[in-house]
């Protein structure tokens, strides 16, 4: 793992006996005890993830909002200071370069959280489209990132920061210690992200552990987000598919005069989608589904492949996401997932697979 980047929290992970694996060019913990234990900790109590691999960009200047509205799909003008939104950055063919969270941190300043594997590509794409009146800074190396998720996440925050308050959902604020606090998440549970200066990373991590929050790895993060039907860039999102095909039209403000990729989305909306990202759930027990496993009709005709797949710890059955022809995208459509030559019956269903608080 010598060619990989290393989290500023790595020594803390090693001290806890974490299993480290390559992920998006980084050496990151995939689990500490087991994916099942860590998944349930987030659903039932609170878990903490190292997200130091994710990128943080600052965009500011008198024309920042105007420029971001052309670079991203969502409506930046809808943001008030201290609020954020999910958005996507597209290429000229309408394909997804990256999905990200954008926060308005000041009158003309914005804080962007981008995917780890796309930091360099995002920065280059944005720099190549910069205009006068806009300043872009990549501050990714300066921050350690923590995500605390679960029904007891707020209580843990109160223990660690008794003099601070959490912002509303999708909000952002700067704490007294200089950390940036964002109230979003990738699990469907209550929670927040804390981007703290690298020098404070391990200390903050340990404070949350002392508050009773369970350390969780990327394995649980993946099963948690998949149960909610949240897409993973590089799997469920790619430059080969538009956000409309991915079911993310609500985050594309087509009413805006112009943004990169808009014309392609308008054409798709008019002529129809070539494919749709669908949720699939096993009809019975079966071998865990994985990305790239073929999806077939009941007579064995291959109609797609899983973009993501896993055994759901909350539902104890196989779930996955796959791009399918529109004619097979209706909930209730029965298909099969081919797992190394064995076909397991599955049906198209609505997202999310799981709603916080439900039982299998």
Q: What is the pLDDT of residue 357?
A: 78
Q: Are residues 174 and 288 in the same domain?
A: no
pLDDT more than 90, % of the chain:
98
Q: Are residues 222 and 280 in the same domain?
A: no
- Answer yes or no: is 86 within a domain: no
- Among residues 199, 227, 255, the one where a domain terminates is 227
- Answer yes or no: is 130 within a domain: no
Q: Are residues 216 and 146 in the same domain?
A: yes
Q: Are residues 214 and 345 in the same domain?
A: no
CATH code of 334's domain? 2.40.30.110
Q: DSSP secondary structure string, 92-161?
A: TTS-EEEEEEEEEEETTEEEEEE-GGGHHHHHHHHHTT--TT-EEEE-GGGEEEEEEESTTHHHHHHHH-
Q: Are residues 146 and 32 in the same domain?
A: yes
CATH code of 46's domain? 3.30.1360.120
- Among residues 192, 227, 262, the one where a domain terminates is 227
Identify the three-state secondary structure at position 219.
Answer: helix
Q: Are residues 329 and 193 in the same domain?
A: no
- Answer yes or no: is 325 within a domain: yes
Instruction: Name the domain count of the chain.
Output: 2
* Interval 175-211: pLDDT, tens: 999 999 999 999 999 999 999 999 999 999 999 999 9
Q: Are residues 311 and 182 in the same domain?
A: no
- Answer yes or no: is 42 within a domain: yes
Averaged pLDDT for residues 283-303: 97
Q: What is the pLDDT of residue 359?
A: 66
- Among residues 188, 212, 227, the one where a domain terminates is 227
Q: Are residues 42 and 147 in the same domain?
A: yes
Contacts for 300 with CB less than 8 Å, ≥ 6 apart? 336, 343
Q: Are residues 279 and 360 in the same domain?
A: yes
Q: Are residues 202 and 325 in the same domain?
A: no
The helix (run of H) or strand (run of E) holding residue 143 is: strand 143-149
Answer with the residue of higher pLDDT: 3 or 27: 27
Separate counts of helices (H) and strands (E) for the chain:
8, 20
Q: Are residues 38 and 145 in the same domain?
A: yes
Q: What is the pLDDT of residue 356?
A: 87
- Answer yes or no: is 213 within a domain: yes
Q: Are residues 48 and 150 in the same domain?
A: yes
Contact between 221 and 43 under an 8 Å Cβ cutoff? The reply is no
* Interval 35-84: pLDDT, tens: 999 999 999 999 999 999 999 999 999 999 999 999 999 999 999 999 99
- Answer yes or no: is 250 within a domain: no
- Answer yes or no: is 200 within a domain: yes
C-alpha 127 chain-centroid distance: 23
> Could you tell me where the beta strands, DSSP code E, fall in 210-296?
214-216, 276-282, 294-296
Q: What is the pLDDT of residue 360?
A: 57
* Interval 73-120: pLDDT, tens: 999 999 999 999 999 999 999 999 999 999 999 999 999 999 999 999
Containing domain of residue 39, as a range? 5-52+141-227
> Does residue 319 carry a pLDDT above 70?
yes
**Rounded Cα gap, residues 347 and 349, in angstroms:** 6
**Rounded Cα gap, residues 126 and 144, in angstroms:** 23
Residue 358: pLDDT band with limits 50, 70, 90: confident
> Does residue 1 carry a pLDDT above 80?
no
- Answer yes or no: is 297 within a domain: yes
pTM for the model stands at 0.96
């Amino acid at each position: 793992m010598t060619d990989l980047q290393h989290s500023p929290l790595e020594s803390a992970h090693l001290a806890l006996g974490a299993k480290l694996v390559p992920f998006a060019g980084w050496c990151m913990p995939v689990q500490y005890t087991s994916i099942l234990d860590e998944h349930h900790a987030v659903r039932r109590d609170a878990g903490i993830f190292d997200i130091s691999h994710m990128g943080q960009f600052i965009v500011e200047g008198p024309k920042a909002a105007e420029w971001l509205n052309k670079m991203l799909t969502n409506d930046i003008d809808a943001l008030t200071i201290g609020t954020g939104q999910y958005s996507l950055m597209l290429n000229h063919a309408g394909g997804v370069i990256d999905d990200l969270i954008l926060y308005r941190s000041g009158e003309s300043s914005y804080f962007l959280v981008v995917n780890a594997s796309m930091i360099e590509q995002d920065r280059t794409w944005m720099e190549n489209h910069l205009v006068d009146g806009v300043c872009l800074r990549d501050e990714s190396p300066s921050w350690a990132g923590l995500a605390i998720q679960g029904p007891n996440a707020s209580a843990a925050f109160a223990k660690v920061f008794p003099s601070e308050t959490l912002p509303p959902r999708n909000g952002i604020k700067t704490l007294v210690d200089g950390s940036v606090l964002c109230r979003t998440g990738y699990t469907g549970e209550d929670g927040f992200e804390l981007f703290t200066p690298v020098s404070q990373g391990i200390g903050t991590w340990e404070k949350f552990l002392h508050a009773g929050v369970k350390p969780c790895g990327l394995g649980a993060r993946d099963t948690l987000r998949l149960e909610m039907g949240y897409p993973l860039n590089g799997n469920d999102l790619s430059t080969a598919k538009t956000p409309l095909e991915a079911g993310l039209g609500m985050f594309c403000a087509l009413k805006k005069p112009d943004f990169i990729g808009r014309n392609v989305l308008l054409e798709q909306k008019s002529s129809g989608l070539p494919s749709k990202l669908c949720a699939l759930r096993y009809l019975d027990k079966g071998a865990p589904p994985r990305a790239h496993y073929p999806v077939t009709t009941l007579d064995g005709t291959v109609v797609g492949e899983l973009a993501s797949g896993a055994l759901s710890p909350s539902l104890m059955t196989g779930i996955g996401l796959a791009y399918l022809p529109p004619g097979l995208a209706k909930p209730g459509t029965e298909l099969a997932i081919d797992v190394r030559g064995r076909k397991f019956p599955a049906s198209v269903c609505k997202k999310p697979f799981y709603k916080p608080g439900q039982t299998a």
